[in-house]
Amino acid sequence: MGIKTKLTAENFSAARKRLLQMHFDSGVGHIGGNLSALDAMLIIFHEYLSGEDKFILSKGHSAGALYTTLWSLGRLRDQDLKQFHKDDTLLAGHPPAKGIADIQFATGSLGHGLSLAAGTALAFKLKGSDTRVICLTSDGEWQEGSTWEALIFACHHRLLNLTVMVDHNNLQGFGSTADVASMSPLWDRLQGFDVDLQIIDGHDPDAIRAALEGESQRLRVIILRTVKGHGVSFMENRMEWHYLPLSEEQFKTAIEEIEGAPK
């Protein structure tokens, strides 16, 4: 299926700034992993998904990137984003169980999203539907057995309507993925499965487009080699930005840097 509306550098920049504004206004962290996943989410929603296609965010702590993407589509408003992480909000720190049509499941207990996506894809396959399912996981959650069980299930049932993506930024809550529970490189482990494995630059729009548009007769797994904190130099590849909120000075510096980046 062809690209619908090709995003520009200005679109990515605007989304990055809006994500930072939302996190700054709410005073919460988890910014680094949101920035590593945002580029892929924007392309998935703007250029790939159509009709009844489904997206499942397994790395639920990147809900901010998902909300920002829905904002960029006009499906969430500025006043909605101002409620991010507030009491009684619909825009919680992890995706909500109900209330936002584009969000299928409450996720963020990492390791569950791929199972939910595989079950969803199987349901559509049994119905004879051509609906596609994309699941975005973190690299850290591939340390969990439930993720591998879901992969085995998806391969066994030949879920060609499912695409698995991995935000591979090499960092998690307690350090690098290599230090916490090394399976580096993850793609070496995945090559033992009956999958169509692609390893791409997760911040290269054309590479993401090409990976998504390709046809395959096997389950597709796309490794997005990303940078935690992408686009903000003092955040990039820094584990602490898994947690830290922005100070006012840091927020201003980050916005200035994004606005001054080459287009």
Q: Record the tokens describing residue 6, joined without a space.
A: 């090709």
For the chain, helix (H) and strand (E) counts, in that order, are: 10, 7
The count of residues in the chain is 263
Query: Where does residue 35 rank: exposed (0-12), middle (13-18), buried (19+ CB within 10 A)?
Result: buried
Q: How far apart are CA 147 and CA 159, in angstroms?
A: 15
pLDDT value, residue 181: 61
For every one of its 263 residues, what pLDDT tens digit does the chain have, with 9 covering 90 and above? 444 779 999 999 999 999 999 999 999 998 999 999 999 999 999 999 999 999 999 999 999 999 999 999 999 999 999 999 999 999 999 999 999 999 999 998 777 999 999 999 999 999 999 999 999 999 988 988 999 999 999 999 999 999 999 999 876 666 566 666 667 789 999 998 999 999 999 999 999 999 999 889 999 999 999 999 999 999 998 888 888 999 999 999 999 999 998 76
pLDDT tens column, 143-201: 889 999 999 999 999 999 999 999 998 766 665 666 666 677 899 999 989 999 999 99
pLDDT value, residue 159: 98
DSSP category for residue 139? S
Q: How far apart are CA 209 and CA 40, in angstroms?
A: 9
Q: How far apart are CA 197 and CA 200, in angstroms?
A: 10
20 and 14 Cβ atoms separated by less than 8 Å: no
Question: Which are the contacts of 78, defined by CB distance < 8 A and separation ≥ 6?
Answer: 71
Determine the Cα angle at 76 with ends 72 and 80, to 5°. Answer: 125
pLDDT value, residue 175: 56
Side by side, which strands form the sheet with 133-138?
54-57, 133-138, 162-168, 219-225, 195-201
pLDDT value, residue 2: 44
Q: How far apart are CA 70 and CA 55, in angstroms?
A: 12
